[in-house]
């Protein structure tokens, strides 16, 4: 028998769209009962991929059946290259063929790719059906399953098509990280470090002090860092759901990170790895621009490197990086906004950065 336990709950406060993130071990088996308690019922589509399905689809299917749902498994291939409109359309075809109606919920079972495409399908199928996030990567547990950014990629840009659409709740089972490849776990750690830099200096210090426990995946340390990450994301999203201001701080490291990802054709680096490099570049840009002391850059770089994440810019032509940055969708009036640290735990969002300083930093 599986012992299941909810260790922690974090609330995302968004008025009538508020929801809970439940963080536990073995709690994946409670997803059906929790959905039922929220008033969901009937047929439910479990969207997952061919890597995650053999690991966790059975537990979720059984949980839904036990709670009175009629679950249907919808499996797509594993990979960022399937987070596309054609694969969303494939899911629409399946839902329409099964005559799913407006009340039939979807369950996103997997990492950020599955969460993003399932959320997008849920947001747009019949103008919106309920969906639940069951994130199974560290990155999705601390970031992508929370906050309602959903979407798919377009050949001309990542995440270019999407919607803000919140889940009914998030069921985070820390035990699923047990099967996650090490490199994927570390990729998620980049987003965890991000929260420390942008919002919580004490949390950053805690990460520095508990690096060994984190690398050993000690359950208490892992649950604690997931909870704190979700709390920070929930606080930010609760104040600025649609990124008209504050939410942009969550993009720390992502401006250069996205450029690194696109210039290496999304095959050179995992998202978190590229963000790790981007965070170091942004800290260096902040230091060279006189916004923070050298120790900020040094601590960011040391923590990320100590966690086994890449911190050095790959050999890419700086002009190409600048061009890739310029098409970032977070630009405003043609000038890209950078999130730059002023100290550990505090950042500013600014268009006032000097291209020559950035070029120097990129070398
Ligand atoms: P991913 O979804 O590709 O998962 C990484 C790999 O781990 C995949 O091969 C997956 O099949 C496998 N996997 C998942 N769970 C597993 C488990 N428990 N055991 C074994 N293998 C498992 O990648 P990701 O890092 O989770 O997410 C990246 C995606 O998230 C990108 O598309 C990115 O754009 C998106 N993202 C979205 C947001 C948001 O706010 N919506 C935020 C950050 C990133
Ligand atoms: N991952 C950035 C955001 O959710 O806003």
Q: What is the reported pLDDT for 3?
A: 56
DSSP string, 114-169: HHHHHHHHHHHGGG---EEEEE-SHHIIIIITSS-EEEEEETTEEEEEEEE---S-
Query: Hey, what CATH topology would domain 182-362 get?
Result: Dehydroquinate synthase-like, alpha domain (1.20.1090)
Q: Kindly provide the residue ranges of all beta strands, DSSP E only, lying in 147-230, ordered along the sequence.
A: 149-154, 157-164, 170-173
Q: What is the reported pLDDT for 267?
A: 85
Is 127 catalytic? The answer is: yes
Ligand nearest to the CA of 134: 1
Note whether 124 and 163 are within 8 A (CB): yes
Question: Which residue of the set 99, 127, 265, 363 is catalytic?
Answer: 127
Q: What is the reported pLDDT for 157?
A: 81
CATH code given to domain 5-179: 3.40.50.1970
Q: What is the CA(266)–ligand 1 centre distance, in A?
A: 13
Q: What is the pLDDT along the chain (363 residues), one digit of tens a residue?
A: 445 576 799 999 999 999 999 999 999 999 999 999 999 999 999 999 999 999 999 999 999 999 999 999 999 999 999 999 999 999 999 999 999 999 999 999 999 999 999 999 999 999 999 999 999 999 999 999 999 999 999 988 889 999 999 999 999 999 999 999 999 999 999 999 999 999 999 999 999 999 999 999 998 999 999 999 999 999 999 999 999 999 999 999 999 999 999 899 888 899 999 999 999 999 999 999 999 999 999 999 999 999 999 999 999 999 999 999 987 656 666 689 999 999 999 999 999 999 999 999 998
Q: What is the reported pLDDT for 1?
A: 42
Q: Specify the domain boundaries for CATH 1.20.1090.10 within the chain.
A: 182-362
- Tell me which residue of 315, 195, 189, 323 sits closest to 255, measured CA to CA: 323
Note whether 170 and 145 are within 8 A (CB): yes
Burial of 237 (0-12, 13-18, 19+ CB in 10 A): buried
What is the C-alpha separation between 247 and 136, in angstroms, rounded? 24
> Angle at Cα 308 formed by Cα 317 and Cα 246, nearest 5°?
70
Note whether 189 and 140 are within 8 A (CB): no
Q: What is the CA(114)–ligand 1 centre distance, in A?
A: 7
Is 247 catalytic? The answer is: yes
Q: Specify the domain boundaries for CATH 3.40.50.1970 within the chain.
A: 5-179
Q: Which residues have a Cβ under 8 Å from the Cβ of 50 and sit 6 or more positions away?
A: 75, 76, 77, 78
Phi, psi of 43 (to 5 degrees): -75, 145
Beta carbon of 272 within 6 Å of any ligand 2 atom: no
Q: What is the CA(68)–ligand 1 centre distance, in A?
A: 29
The reply to whether the predicted model has a pTM over 0.85 is: yes
* Ligand 1: residue whose CA is nearest its atom 44: 144
- Tell me which residue of 183, 184, 172 sits closest to 225, measured CA to CA: 172
């Amino acid at each position: 028998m599986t012992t299941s336990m909810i260790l922690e709950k974090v609330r995302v406060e968004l008025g009538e769209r508020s929801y809970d993130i439940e963080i536990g071990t073995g709690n994946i088996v409670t997803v059906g009962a929790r959905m039922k308690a929220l008033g969901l019922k009937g047929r439910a589509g479990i969207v997952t991929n061919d890597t995650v399905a053999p690991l966790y689809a059975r537990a979720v299917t059984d949980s839904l059946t036990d709670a009175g749902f009629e679950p249907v498994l919808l499996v797509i291939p594993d990979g960022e290259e399937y987070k596309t409109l054609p694969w969303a359309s494939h899911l629409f075809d399946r839902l329409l063929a099964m005559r799913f109606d407006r009340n039939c919920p979807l369950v996103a079972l997997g990492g950020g790719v599955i969460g993003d495409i399932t959320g997008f399908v849920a947001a747009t199928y019949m103008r919106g059906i309920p969906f639940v996030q069951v994130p199974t990567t560290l990155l999705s547990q601390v970031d992508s399953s929370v906050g309602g950014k959903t979407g798919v990629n377009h050949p001309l840009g990542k995440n270019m098509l999407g919607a803000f659409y919140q889940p009914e709740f998030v069921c985070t089972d820390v035990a699923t990280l047990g099967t996650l490849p090490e490199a994927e776990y570390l990729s998620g750690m980049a987003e965890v470090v991000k929260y420390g830099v942008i919002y919580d200096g004490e949390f950053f210090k805690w990460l520095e002090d508990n690096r060994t426990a984190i690398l050993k995946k000690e359950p208490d340390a892992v649950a604690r860092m997931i909870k704190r990450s979700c709390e920070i994301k929930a606080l930010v999203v609760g104040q600025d759901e649609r990124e008209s201001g504050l939410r942009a701080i969550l993009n720390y490291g992502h401006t250069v990170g996205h450029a690194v990802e696109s210039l290496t054709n999304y095959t050179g680096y995992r998202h978190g790895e590229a963000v790790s490099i981007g965070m170091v570049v942004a800290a260096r840009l902040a230091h060279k621009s006189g916004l923070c002391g050298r120790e900020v850059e040094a601590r960011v770089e040391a923590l990320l490197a100590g966690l086994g994440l890449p911190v050095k810019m790959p050999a890419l032509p700086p002009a190409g990086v600048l061009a890739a940055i310029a098409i970032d969708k977070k630009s405003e009036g043609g000038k890209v906004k950078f999130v730059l640290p002023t100290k550990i735990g505090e950042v500013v969002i600014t268009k006032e950065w000097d291209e020559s300083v950035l070029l120097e930093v990129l070398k």
